[in-house]
Amino acid sequence: MTDTLIERAETARLISKPSFAEFPKDAPIHAAFRLIELRDGALPPKGGMGHRVSFGTGRTPEEAARLAGFEAIERYALQYSTEAPQTRESLIASDGASHVMPNDALALGVPGSDGKVTSKGAAAGPTHEAAALWAALECLEHALGSQGFDHLAPDTVLPHDLTQWLHVQLRQLSLHILEVPGIGLLLRAVCADADGGRPTYGSALSANLAQGVWHAASEAVVSWRNMVMLEHNGVTDHGMDAEQARLFRLYRGAQNDRPVAPTRLFDTRAWDSPNPSLTTVLTAASRALGRPVAVFDMTAPEIPLPVVKAVAV
Phi, psi of 300, rounded to the nearest 5 degrees: -90, 130
Task: Give the strand pairing for 30-36 and 52-58.
Answer: antiparallel
C-alpha span between 41 and 140 (Å, rounded): 31
pTM recorded for the entire structure: 0.91
User: What percent of the chain is predicted at pLDDT more than 90?
Assistant: 78
Q: Residue 114: its pLDDT value, please? A: 78
Closest CA to 289 of 99, 97, 112, 93: 93
Closest CA to 310 of 294, 299, 287, 298: 294
Q: What is the pLDDT of residues 120-164, one digit of tens each?
A: 999 999 999 999 999 999 999 999 986 789 999 999 999 999 999
Output the CA angle 36-285-215, nearest 5 degrees.
Answer: 50
Is the CA virtual torsion 92, 97, 98, 104 positive or negative? Answer: negative
C-alpha span between 77 and 308 (Å, rounded): 9
Q: What is the pLDDT of residues 173-229, one digit of tens each?
A: 999 999 999 999 999 999 999 888 999 999 999 999 999 999 999 999 999 998 888
HSE-CB for 97 with a 13 A CA cutoff? 9
C-alpha span between 198 and 57 (Å, rounded): 21
C-alpha span between 84 and 108 (Å, rounded): 12
**Do the Cβ atoms of 139 and 183 come closer than 8 Å?**
no
Q: Which residues pair with 177 in a beta bridge?
A: 151, 187
Residue range 151-270 in CATH 3.40.50: no
- Give the SS3 label for residue 200: strand
